[in-house]
Amino acid sequence: MRNGSFYLRYRRGRALAARALHESFGRALVLGARLAPRLRRRSPDLPRAPVRILALALQRIGDAVTTEPSLRILREKFPAARLEVAASAESDPGPDMGACEVFRLVPQVDFVHPVRRARDLGALSGKNDLVVVFGLRARDAWSALLARGERGVALGYSWRGRGHALDRALEPPDQVMLTASEAFSRGARPQHEFWGDLLARAGLCTQEDVRRAGPPRLRVGERERADVRALLRERGLEPPLLALAPWNAQAHFRWPEERWAPLARSLVEAGLARSVAVVGGRTADEVAHASRIVAEIGERATSFAGAFGLDRWAALLAEAALVVAVDSGPAHVARAVYAPTLALFGPGSPAVWAPPGARVLQRADLCHGCREPRCFQERRECLDDLSLSSVVAAARETLAPPR
């Protein structure tokens, strides 16, 4: 095992070096880029009555869901404006599971622009009065500058010097990359309020507006619901339905694969579920992972990993009596469509990232919530030691007995 304290010191030292780089070289790079007429800094004053607003969300699915309340606030404050979103999309052919599909389930959005490459942002240049950046990377700020062009103002957070390219760069609340215990002790706000706070700090709304907007909500269309219900009948999957979302691209966010089938069988044998659906994206590893779990569960289970786009995927989660998910996009989508959800957390921070209203299981000791991008332990204790019996017990308590 690598020395944990040494590794964490190394990570923190690298973070400080990255901040120094952004504050020096990044600032110089922005000053050079400003010589181009289309990239010159605009006044930081925000338009009082914008005609066109672009929300830039180059994120993953779970991150995208957390921005939904802010979009509702923008629509409420500027009802006459055209509100569009530029968001990440899958580059490979097939059902799109990218973050852009989240925003197609937000009725306040007038149009969604899939972003696969830089020229997709360049096509939006000069068309918007206000560009709101929902992201913390330097890449997000530069993307906003590209999408803004010669018109409008780019607004966003500047975290550790990464927002120099923005016209109006605001310091974010002190809750980025905190450990779970730090976030809890400091009273960190849920991520959807973190983005709402950006609008409040910019004077576009009040803190009361942020509080009143509440948690994320996604609208599933009747056509999508009907399609999924027909598909479930065709596959012989009877209610109550248990949905499992076992995948996260980062291995140290996954609960051990061999425990998902015993969990599902336990709930089915107890009569709390009659069928099981495993959901996920369409990468080869994710599809194979779901298929192995389904094979272990048996005939009452079906894998829908990679089977369709996010609109049907959300409709499927909305049909579930319970969704059990790791800390991932499906957990956020499930709660946004009002599905009862049990979220299994490892290194993540529930105070910030738990889907509002979900039941959360996480170890309360060791290095849980370290917020490091890779686990330095040979054995991922925070999730490996989250016992099958504790997850089964929590799932039983969350599932209502069938009537």
Q: What angle do CA 352, 355, 356 make, to 5 degrees?
A: 90
pLDDT of residue 11: 57
pLDDT of residue 14: 62
pLDDT of residue 29: 56
Which residues have CB under 8 Å from 348's CB, separation 6+? Answer: 180, 253, 327, 354, 362, 369, 371
Written in H, E and C, the secondary structure of 357-380 is: CCEEECCCCCCCCCCCCCCCCCCC
Which residues have CB under 8 Å from 155's CB, separation 6+? Answer: 46, 130, 131, 132, 133, 166, 167, 168, 170, 198, 202
**Within 13 Å, how many C-alpha atoms sit on residue 383's CB side?**
28
Q: Which helix (H) or strand (E) holds 241?
A: strand 241-245
Respond yes or no on whether the N-terminal peptide bond of residue 240 is cis (omega within 30° of 0). Answer: yes
- Supply 20's token pair: 């120094």
Any alpha helices (H) in 168-326, and if so which ranges?
Answer: 180-185, 191-201, 207-213, 222-234, 260-269, 284-297, 310-318
What class is the 222-398 domain? alpha beta
Q: The domain 26-213: what is its CATH number?
A: 3.40.50.2000
Coil/strand/helix, residue 25: helix
Q: What angle do CA 218, 346, 397 make, to 5 degrees?
A: 65
Query: What is the C-alpha radius of gyration for the chain, rounded to an integer number of angstroms?
Result: 22
Residues 350/219, Cβ–Cβ less than 8 Å: no
Q: What angle do CA 348, 334, 181 make, to 5 degrees?
A: 20
What does 323-340 look like in DSSP terms, one character per residue?
A: EEEESSHHHHHHHHTT--
Question: Which part of the chain has CATH 3.40.50.2000?
Answer: 26-213, 222-398
pLDDT in tens, the chain (403 residues): 344 555 556 656 666 665 555 555 455 555 555 545 555 555 678 889 999 999 999 999 999 999 999 999 999 999 999 999 999 998 775 666 688 999 999 999 999 999 998 889 989 988 999 999 999 998 999 899 889 878 889 999 999 888 888 999 999 998 888 877 788 888 899 999 999 999 999 999 999 999 999 999 999 999 999 999 999 999 999 999 999 999 999 888 899 999 999 999 999 999 999 999 999 988 999 999 999 999 999 989 999 999 989 999 999 999 999 999 999 999 999 999 999 999 999 888 899 999 999 999 988 665 555 555 556 565 677 788 899 999 999 999 998 544 4
pLDDT of residue 23: 52
